[in-house]
Structure 1
Amino acid sequence: MKRALLICALLLTACKDEAQDISAVPLTEESVGHYCQMQLLEHDGPKAQVHMKGYPGKPLYFSQVRDAVAYSRLPEQEGVILAIWVNDMGAPGATWTQPGAANWIDAKTAHYVVGSTVEGGMGAPELVPFADLDKAAGFASQNGGAVMSLTAIPDRAVIAPVALPGDGTSDADYSNRLKALSDKIGG
């Protein structure tokens, strides 16, 4: 009898895990970015939230969509991602300064403008998500970039370092500084 109860308890637990609520959570003043720990509502541009297995109703928030996509692709990311939600920048009332607190769309079905001239909330190039393909194309025609699906976005668009205007840093400069630092530490 005890064995049957234990099996039932395990089955109920397994069912509970599968039924984790992965609905998008509206942003509030308490919503802070996973990397920056800053309030999301204070940053321009679209946001993202990543729902992880075992953390119902407690998504990881990202100040930029680019960062959430990078997070999902990094080899260090060990948890199971159940859902990624992004702001629909084509939703009624969505603007760059006020992208919306509750206009979430599934990241898998969104149309992204990649390589546009706009910067996200943390000053890096941004992936601009839209539910409507025509709105994404219109944004791209005004701001540059190409419309892509999530799976078509190249890693270099989300994981590569960001060169800021006027920092004078090139790949060669970075390599030389890194070598000098290594030489200093080693000798």
Structure 2
Amino acid sequence: MTRLLALMMLLLTVSCREEVAQDTAPLPLTEAAVGHFCQMNLFEHEGPKGQVHLAGLPQMPLFFSQVRDAIAYQRLPEQSHEILAVWVNDMGADGARWSDPGTENWIDARAAYFVVGGETTGGMGAPETVPFSGPEEAARFAARAGGTVMRLDEIPDAAVLAPVATGPDEDESEFEQRLRALSDATGD
């Protein structure tokens, strides 16, 4: 009887325990951070970075070598975990440079202003989606580098999911043509 009572108390304690919220604060960029898609050290790549925090995986967020890739990850159907937070480098922050975008100047991607479709190439060689905390900084950057200022939910899928040619004389393979057709079919 004592064992049964102890078991019931344990179950009651576990069931009454409040669920502790997962910490989704941005982590500083360190040498330990590698890109989720490329598995390369992020310090080897220029341009802004992103980090995505997933439910149930509190140890380490997924880091991305390009902001474009972090946005693309959110839109991929293969995700296995709920996305709790997405942080991106604020390229308008004091000291942020393309060669050194910063290690702690993170802003919530939902609050950021992005320059999309400009001539800027990110760390992995694809067109970059450049984040800023304010619309003025984003507009000044777009005036210099081209592109359009957009909020996260305005960025078309084609801007982050479409394949990118890496060379001017490169022919599109059949696979790339199918990917481009799928991206164009989304209507973005």
Q: For residue 83 of structure 1, report the CA deviation from its aligned partner.
A: 0.4
User: Are 2:8 and 1:3 aligned?
Assistant: yes
- 1:175 maps to what in 2? 174
Q: Please name the residue that 1:118 is paired with.
A: 120
| TM-score, structure 2 normalization | 0.86
- 2:161 aligned counterpart, secondary structure: coil
| CA apart distance, 1:41 | 1.3
CA displacement at 1:115 relative to structure 2: 0.4
Please report the RMSD computed on the Cα atoms of aligned residues, expressed in angstroms. Answer: 1.9
Mapped contact 2:118–2:127 kept (Cα < 8 A): yes
| 1-structure distance, mates of 2:92, 2:148 | 16
Superposed CA offset, 1:131-162 (max 9, x none): 01100000001000000000000000000000
Opposite residue 89 of structure 2, the aligned amino acid is: N
Aligned CA distance change for structure 1 residues 99 and 176 (closer, same or farther; 3 Å): closer
Q: Which of 54-63 and 152-161 deviates more?
A: 54-63
Equivalent residues in 2 for 1:137-156, closer than 5 Å: 137-156=139-158
Alignment of structure 1 residues 161-172 onto 2, 5 Å: 161-170=163-172
Query: Match for residue 110 of structure 2?
Result: 108
8 Å CA contact retained: 1:86, 1:104: yes
Which residue identity is paired with 1:10?
S
Q: Paired residues, what number?
A: 173
Task: In structure 1, list runs of 5 or more residues that go unmatched.
Answer: 180-187
Alignment of 1:45-124 (within 5 A): 45-124=47-126
Identity of aligned residues (%): 55
Distance 1:84 1:108 in 2: 8
2:56–2:81 CA contact under 8 A, matched in 1: no
Give 3-state SS (helix, strand or coil) of 1:15's partner.
Answer: coil
Deviation track 1:51-86 (CA, whole Å, cap 9, x = no partner) reads 011121410000001111111100111211110000
Partner of 2:133: 131
- In 1, the alpha carbon distance for the partners of 2:12 and 2:106 equals 38
Q: Which consecutive residues of structure 2, in runs of 5 or more, have no partner in the other structure?
A: 179-188
